[in-house]
Structure 1
């Protein structure tokens, strides 16, 4: 585990937990943002609670979730865009941490 990456994810995660769900994300017509958010949040939660440990399956969920959210991001504005960018950033950081530990 890279402590710098872990600390950054932990700060982002704390902010994410305190953020309200942006209403505009309910109106996204390309992909199940609610489902993607739930799946990715579960993976990030495991990473933070286990102090930087994440299995291959959850890493895969983060990778694919971030890819799906990147396709949606250009159509978002305001809080919805901020919320989605934060999820993508956490996924990228966690997967970078896993790659550097290998």
Structure 2
């Protein structure tokens, strides 16, 4: 676990938990995936990462990578708080993925 990465994820996660679900996300079409399902799956992985103080397994990394790919496809159609919410999820996924890859190379 990289402490700087963990600390950034922990801060972003706290922000995410304090943020309301943006109304605009209710209306995102699901050609790139079901937003509530993607959000829930990714949130579970991030929560586990934070609770375990930086441990992440291959399955959670895969879920985060797939979720981030789907969110990147949705992002151009989002504005305002919805875009901020999705960017934060993507950033946490990228950080955790990087941390998991770094740990596996040690």
Q: Same fold (TM over 0.5)?
A: yes
In 2: Cα distance, 1:39 partner to 1:75 partner: 21
In 2: Cα distance, 1:55 partner to 1:85 partner: 23
In 1: Cα distance, 2:67 partner to 2:13 partner: 16
- Number of aligned residue pairs: give it: 102
In 1: Cα distance, 2:54 partner to 2:72 partner: 24
Structure 1 residue aligned with 2:24: 24
Alignment pair present for 1:7 and 2:32: no
5+ residue gaps, structure 2, are none
5+ residue gaps, structure 1, are none
Aligned residue runs from structure 1 range 77-96, under 5 A: 77-96=79-98
Alpha-carbon deviations, 1:50-87, whole Å to 9, x = none? Answer: 00001110110000000000000000000000000000
CA RMSD of aligned residues (A): 0.5
Output the TM-score relative to the length of structure 2. Answer: 0.95
